């Protein structure tokens, strides 16, 4: 086992151990991937002020996200096909997050179902909702999340239509993978992944198959999903969902202050500044660039979080300094999961927490609640 010291180490190991189509699904963006790259590179442009001769004892990164106590302002973002990065991936990630003390959010497009995760965890997790044209299915999905005692609903608004991701098309992405000759050859080089997949029954979209009308297998699922994402989604639908959910509501996919103000008006409890990991509108602003004007517009009226490009605890602290009161990580924890399963997710969280804690100390703070943009070098953000 190589020595793992940072998120990049996990990414390299993930790429070695996971079939190409699923690694590429996790680690790619739409079209030219310019926004995908900017999410990460724009963090690197922001510089920190080092302080000395300050008391660095008794530090704490603990805070709350929508009223939930968390070990640090980080949640595991909803990611589709997580159970294809590693067998039973959603269950393992949820268990690791629960043990570490950060929230886990399950995607509508997960391989393990809401019920699978609920049966194998002891604390409430969050559920992410995509809005489909079949409103009856959406109502049933919300009721299933309630029955599983999910503590928050994360409504994703930036995937009414699907951005084109060239790698997915070229790889013929599917779950389970199509047994083409290139796929078989590639999977033969990933024996650990293959053995794990043979030992689990969870190899399809278990939130959908058997639950959506007319979807009983993979062939019917593909045609259903192609037709079901709703391009007519609007703020009236958000109001309808809030009434059916009647719990903590987090709106994900906000990049514009005007949309942020509309989210406040919808009665949401938090918003996530996000460009879907650079997987939708290529050429959109990076999440960290979009964050400050949104905080200025609505920061006193609603909790503002962000995701996109976070690869270190330093990135978490920079986002906090610019006004985010929570962050979400997707690729970072997927790298850990694909590399080592549940222990890899734990390793990812340990790395981010240690970097966050040490950077906070180096910038002269012991409590994350006291961190403001005075830790940042003016002109770099």
| Rg (the chain; Cα; Å) | 20
Q: Which two three-digit tokens encode residue 243?
A: 């009434």
Active site annotation includes 276 = yes
> pLDDT value at position 135?
95
> pLDDT value at position 221?
72
> pLDDT value at position 90?
98
Provide block-wise average pLDDT over 10 residues at a time, the chain (381 residues). Answer: 93 97 96 98 98 96 98 98 97 98 97 98 98 95 98 96 91 84 93 96 94 79 81 95 96 98 98 98 98 96 98 98 98 98 98 98 98 98 96
Give the CA distances from residue 358 to residues 58, 109, 145, 211, 353, in Å, rounded to whole numbers and listed in that order: 12, 36, 37, 47, 9
> pLDDT value at position 300?
92
Q: What is the pLDDT of residues 51-108, one digit of tens each?
A: 999 999 999 999 999 999 999 999 999 999 999 999 999 999 999 999 999 999 999 9
Catalytic residue among 14, 244, 276, 353: 276
């Amino acid at each position: 086992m190589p020595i793992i010291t940072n998120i990049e180490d996990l990414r390299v190991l993930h790429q070695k151990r996971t079939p190409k189509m699923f690694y590429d699904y996790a680690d790619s963006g739409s079209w030219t991937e310019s926004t995908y790259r900017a999410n990460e590179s724009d963090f690197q442009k922001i510089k920190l002020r080092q302080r000395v001769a300050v008391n660095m004892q008794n530090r704490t990164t603990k805070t709350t996200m929508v009223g939930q106590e968390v070990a640090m302002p980080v949640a595991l973002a909803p990611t589709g096909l997580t159970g294809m990065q590693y067998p039973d991936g959603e269950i393992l990630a949820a268990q690791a997050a629960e043990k570490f003390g950060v929230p886990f959010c399950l995607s509508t497009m997960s391989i393990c179902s809401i019920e699978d995760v609920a049966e194998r965890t002891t604390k409430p997790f969050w559920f992410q909702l995509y809005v489909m044209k079949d409103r009856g299915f959406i109502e049933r999905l919300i009721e299933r999340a309630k029955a599983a005692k999910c503590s928050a609903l994360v409504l994703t608004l930036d995937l009414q239509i699907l951005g084109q991701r060239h790698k997915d098309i070229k790889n013929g992405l599917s779950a389970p993978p199509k047994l083409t000759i290139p796929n078989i050859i590639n999977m033969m080089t990933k024996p650990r992944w293959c053995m794990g997949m043979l030992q689990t029954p969870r190899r399809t979209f278990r939130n959908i198959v058997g639950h959506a009308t007319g979807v009983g297998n993979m062939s019917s699922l593909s045609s259903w999903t192609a037709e079901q994402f709703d391009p007519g989604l609007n703020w009236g639908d958000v109001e309808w969902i809030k009434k059916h959910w009647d719990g903590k509501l987090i709106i994900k996919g906000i990049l514009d202050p005007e949309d942020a103000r509309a989210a406040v008006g919808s009665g949401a409890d938090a918003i996530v500044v996000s460009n879907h990991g650079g997987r939708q509108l290529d050429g959109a602003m990076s999440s960290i660039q979009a964050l400050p004007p949104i905080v200025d517009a609505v920061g006193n009226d609603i909790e503002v979080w962000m995701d996109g490009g976070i690869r270190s605890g330093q990135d978490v602290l920079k986002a906090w300094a610019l006004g985010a009161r929570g962050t979400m990580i997707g690729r970072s924890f997927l790298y850990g999961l694909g590399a080592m399963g549940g222990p890899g997710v734990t390793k990812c969280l340990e790395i981010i927490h240690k970097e966050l804690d040490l950077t906070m100390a180096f910038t002269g703070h012991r409590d994350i609640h006291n961190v403001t943009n005075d830790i940042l070098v003016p002109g770099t953000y």
